Amino acid sequence: MTSSDRRTFIKGTAGTAALLALQPELLAEPPPLAAPLRVGLVGAGRQGRAILGELSKFEDVTVAALCDTDARRLASTARRAPEAKPFPAHTEMLDGVKDIDAVFVATPTHLHKAPAIDALSAGKHVYCEGPLASTLEDAQAIVKASRTADKVFQTGHLGRSNPVYKLARSFVRSGAIRDVISMRAQYRNKNSWRTPSSDPAREKALNWKLDPALSLGLIGEFGSHQFDVLHWFLRKYPTSVSAAGTIQAWKDGREEADTVHAELGFEGGVNLAYEATLGNSYEGEYEQIVGTMGAMKLAWTHAWMFKEADAATQGWEVYANRQQFHNDEGITLIADATKLAKQGKLKEGVGLPHPPLYYGVTNFLKSVTESLPIACSAEEGLRAAAVAIQARKAQMNGELLPIDDSLFKVD
């Protein structure tokens, strides 16, 4: 790329306001925090361990306390955080290690309420995994507590922290794909969702996702995250939902559906078709937004824009990295593209150097130490949870249900 070409590229990207300036969180090494933090983790299961893994990347963060009601899981996870004091209950943790600054809540969804509210009451900043709660009442209670506490509260919907998603959203918001006419999202992962144990009581607790009385199922545990992405991109929420769920792949006596489909209607007639299954992994997890002048495909670590033949050309596309999908050619969305193009290293920026969880954790730590905007507030967590809860009801009852603003309100 010549100097003239680079200037044209940079001018074009700046003009669209679509490509991000250099972001420290995109570097291989995490940026230093404005102040050191001591944190506690409630929930030492798979997601809790994933959070520990991301926290370990920050030299300024000390995991000072861990909590889990399952003794074996707590002991196993404690070995990954030798400085952390283990506790069997979150109340004991809050009483026993009073100097922690923040608490990460990674318990099963139906158990988010107590540790989140108690941590806020104890004067701690809170990162709570999404979905925010499994019932509307619990989600509303968490929002109410977050409003009265003078602390950062972030819901763990990771799309809003994702640099590639931020870039894609800037294109959509600036009109690059013009009028949105349809949407699709899916989660596919061949996985039984079952954790075996020789102890029947422990197995029941470990497999809460397979208990219809406790779980929001696939449509809640995964759908809520993907619904939130589309809420954020469109600045709109669905007004109706129909859904169905069946057991197709894992006929092992379970009652919880391993395959679900939903149709969410938005104002103006735009629909979101959603599918999730534990029976197949083809194409994994993605969201797709289709407009009259182009389409976006968002796949968490990568994203692409597919332009229509009659869409306006802005100049920078000539130098963009491209990828072929059957008969369609996608422009790879690369955060820091301006910087990389100047260095002649555009292809090196394809994808993210860290998993999506890292960016959510980073955003929270920066919000706590530098008062940066919260990526996903408790209120937005409530909206995503409310849509998922209503979708779950539609799935269980096999009916079309309305989604109105009253679901998003807190008294």
**Residues 49/50/54/57 CA torsion (nearest 10 deg):** 50
Domain that holds residue 116: 26-159
In the DSSP assignment, the letter for residue 10 is H
- Provide mean pLDDT across the span 354-382: 97
Same-domain status, 249 and 269: yes
Of the pLDDT bands very low, low, confident and very high (cuts 50, 70, 90), residue 341 is low
Per-residue pLDDT reduced to its tens digit, 255-283: 999 999 999 999 999 999 999 999 999 99
Cα 202 to chain center, whole Å? Answer: 28
Residue 149 lies in a domain: yes
Q: Which of 107, 139, 159 is a domain's end point?
A: 159
Which one of 133, 159, 185 terminates a domain?
A: 159
State mean pLDDT over 161-190: 96
Q: In this structure, what CATH number is given to the domain that contains residue 138?
A: 3.40.50.720
* Residue 386 CA neighbour count, 13 Å, CB half: 27
Nearest Cα residue to 87 out of 98, 145, 55, 197: 98
Residue 371 lies in a domain: no
Least-confidence region, from 199-203, 209-213, 227-231, 322-326: 322-326
Among residues 103, 135, 159, the one where a domain terminates is 159
User: For all residues of the chain together, what is the average pLDDT?
Assistant: 90
pLDDT at 123: 98
Residues 190 and 214 grouped into a single domain: yes
pLDDT at 17: 35
Residue 360 lies in a domain: no
In 44-193, where does DSSP find H-type helix? 46-55, 71-78, 90-96, 113-121, 136-148, 163-173
Find the CATH number of the domain harbouring 400: 3.30.360.10
Average pLDDT over residues 80-100: 96
